Amino acid sequence: MSPHDKAQLAKALARQVGFDLVGVAHPGPSRRAGHYRDWLARGYHGEMAYLERTAETRLNPATLLPGVRSIICVGLLYKRTDGYQPLAGRDNRAPVVPTAADATARAVGRVAQYARGVDYHVVLHRMLRQLALRLSAALKDVRWTWRACVDSAPVLERELAARAGLGWIGRNTCLLNAGLGSYILLGELLTTLELAEDEPVTERCARCTRCIDACPTQALRAPYELDARRCIAYLTIEHRSAIPDELHRLMGAWVFGCDVCQQVCPFNHSAPLGTHPDLIANLIPPEIPLESLVTLTSGGYRRLTRGTAGRRACLSMWRRNAAVAARNAASRPDAPRTDSA
C-alpha cells in the first residue's frame, strides 16, 4: 500500500472513530523554534517551568518515538450553545456573547466550556488508541509502532496541527479552522508508518484584532504573542501562588479558564456545535454560585470536579479564584453581595 493510500485509510478510520478533523504532519523539527525560545526568554510562560524544561523535546517531536515517520493529527469539536443565542432581526449565526460583568452581577463564577465535560485527556487518549488499533487491524501485515499524545505530552500540538492542514494558528494563539472555528481539542498519533503528508492552509485572520481587543487582561501583547502571566486561563488553572492584585478586577467572574478570545472570533460565530457526548456533558455547570465556591469543602470539590479537567486546579485554587470573583461581584453597586466578599 502506498503512503497516500495508507494516509487515506488512516483518515477514514479517524473519522469512523469520531474525530472531526484529521491530517498528517511530518515529524521534523519545529519551524517556530526561534519564536518559542524567545517566548520563554521573555518569561511569558510564567510558573509553567515544564515548558522550559521540555523545550528541546517539544521542538523536536521525532525524539518522542524512535523511528517516527509521520504524525496523524486529529481534532475534536467541543463548542456549546453558551453565549451563542441569535440576535433578533439579524443573521441567526450572530452571537450574543455574555460578558464577565454579566455573570459578576449575578454573583456566579464562570467555567470555560472545555472543562465542563469528561476530561478531554481521557476522551482523546481513548479515541487515539481506538484509531491505532483499527489501523493495526487494517495493516495486519505491516509492522509499526505508535504513541498517542495530547497536551499533557511535550508536543507543540498547534504547530503540528497547522502543519497537518487542520487549520492555522490564529492571533489569539489558538488553532483556527475556517469552517469549524477554534473550539477544537487536539491530539496526535505518532507512527513509524510512512504516510503522505498534508499541506498547511492559508491563514485567514487578515487584519482582524477582535481577540486582542477583547482580552480582559491584555494578555495578548501582540498578534500571536500570549503573555500567560496575564491570561485568565493560566491564572485560574496553572498559577499556583497568589494572583497579582492588579489583575483581580480584570478577571471578572471567571473561576476556571476563560473563553473570551474565542467567543469574539468571527470564525466561531457560525461554527457547528460539538457532538461528542462526553465533551458536551454538563458535569460542571457553566455558572456556579460564588457563595458555594468560596466555602467549597474537600468533598464538594471532589463531587464538582470528578472525571473532569477541573481537577487541574486544586481545591485551594478554586476557592482562591472564587474569592476574587466574589470581590468583583461585591464591588458592583447593582450586584448582590456574597457573605464571603
Catalytic residues: 151
Taking the C-alpha atoms of residue 66 and residue 86, their distance in angstroms, rounded to an integer, is 50
75 touches 184 (CB < 8 A):
yes
Place of cell 472513530: 17
230 touches 247 (CB < 8 A):
yes
Which residues are 111's β-sheet partners?
A: 256
Strand segments, DSSP code E, in 249-303 are 254-256, 287-289
Encoded amino acid at 114, one letter: Y
Taking the C-alpha atoms of residue 158 and residue 55, their distance in angstroms, rounded to an integer, is 15
Rounded alpha-carbon distances, angstroms, from residue 45 to 38, 39, 50, 233? 11, 7, 9, 12
HSE-CB of 54 using CA atoms within 13 angstroms? 15
242 touches 229 (CB < 8 A):
no
Q: Is 167 helix (H, G, I), strand (E, B) or coil?
A: coil
Number of Cβ within 10 Å of residue 80's Cβ equals: 19
Any long-range contacts for 134-139 (C-beta under 8 Å, 24+ apart)?
Answer: 134/13, 134/16, 134/17, 135/9, 135/10, 135/13, 135/193, 138/9, 138/13, 139/1, 139/6, 139/9, 139/193
Which residues are 294's β-sheet partners?
A: none
